[in-house]
Amino acid sequence: MDPVTLKKLNAARNARKATVVVTNLADGRDRIVLEGESVEGELGVAVSKTFLTGKSNAIEVGGHEFFLNAHLPPPRIVVIGAVHISQALAVIAKTSGYALEVIDPRTAFATKERFAETDLYPEWPEDVLVDRPLDAYCALVAVTHDPKIDDYPLIAAIEAGCFYIGALGSRKTHAKRLVRLVEQGVPEEALAAVHSPIGLDIGAASPQEIAVAIMAEIIKAFRTRGIG
């Protein structure tokens, strides 16, 4: 890889932007494609698939062989609320290969005894997210039921274009939430990004089952982002 290409790749990594390095195997020339950039034809279809799977692969297009090297930021799940669902979700996320952190200013809930192996921030979300901002490779899960805690990170997630945004609550609770978000300046057309009721509809009842439903919805959102 030539120094210019390497510099671009490192800059993208530092900015948590996904790239695919397209190498022509005949002459060794590299081309960096950022996620969202347009690539025409069969090569473009293959590049798009590589972004979704995150798996590097060799292909042949028009009699030419290319190697597609995927460089995706590791997905990050940010949970707002140190509740029973969060405890179960932390375990499932780790098993699924997703990094997870919990933010909750309520120190009675956000304890290391309850989240021994989880990155835990017993602080207000607006304080934590200044140093650890959300981005397109983050999933935001809001489960406190408290607008004073949940609303700020939900707005931040919408603005950051998180690949998944979910909020716990009934349809009635969610309707009130949407009104609040609009009052705080969120465009109505952006509200569809918030999944609520949260999680895939599998009839989940217990905190553990709800965590499974949430994790499944996160995986689905991650593997289908940009489609549709």
Cα 30 to Cα 41: distance, rounded to the nearest angstrom:
18
**Average pLDDT score, the chain:** 94
Residues 6+ apart with CB under 8 A from 64: 24, 25, 26
8 A C-beta contact, residue 22 and residue 31: yes
Q: pLDDT grade, residue 227 (50/70/90)? A: low
**Is the per-residue pLDDT at 216 higher than 80?**
yes
pLDDT of residue 62: 85
Q: What's the CATH superfamily of 76-223?
A: NAD(P)-binding Rossmann-like Domain (3.40.50.720)
* 105-125: average pLDDT: 96
Angle at 222 between CA 122 and CA 169, to 5 degrees: 55
pLDDT confidence of residue 3: 83
Judged by average pLDDT, the poorest of 31-40, 188-197, 210-219 is 31-40
Condensed to tens digits (0 to 9), the pLDDT of residues 133-184 reads 999 999 999 999 999 999 999 999 999 999 999 999 999 999 999 999 999 9
pLDDT, tens only, 86-106: 999 999 999 999 999 999 999
pLDDT tops 80 at residue 74: yes
Q: Where are the domains of the chain?
A: 3-71, 76-223
Show Cβ contacts of residue 138 under 8 Å, excluding neighbours closer than 6 positions.
Answer: 75, 76, 77, 78, 157, 160, 162, 163
Please state, for a pLDDT cut of 70, what percent of the chain lies above it: 99
pLDDT surpassing 70 at residue 189: yes
Least confident of 1-15, 48-62, 136-150: 1-15
> Stretch 216-220: mean pLDDT, rounded?
97
% of the chain surpassing 90 pLDDT: 83
Q: Could you report the per-residue pLDDT of 77-87, keeping only the tens digit for each?
A: 999 999 999 99
Per-residue model confidence (pLDDT) at position 178: 96
- 3-state SS record for 75-119: CEEEEECCCHHHHHHHHHHHHHCCEEEEECCCCCCCCCCCCCCCE
pTM: 0.87
- State yes or no: pLDDT of 52 exceeds 90: no
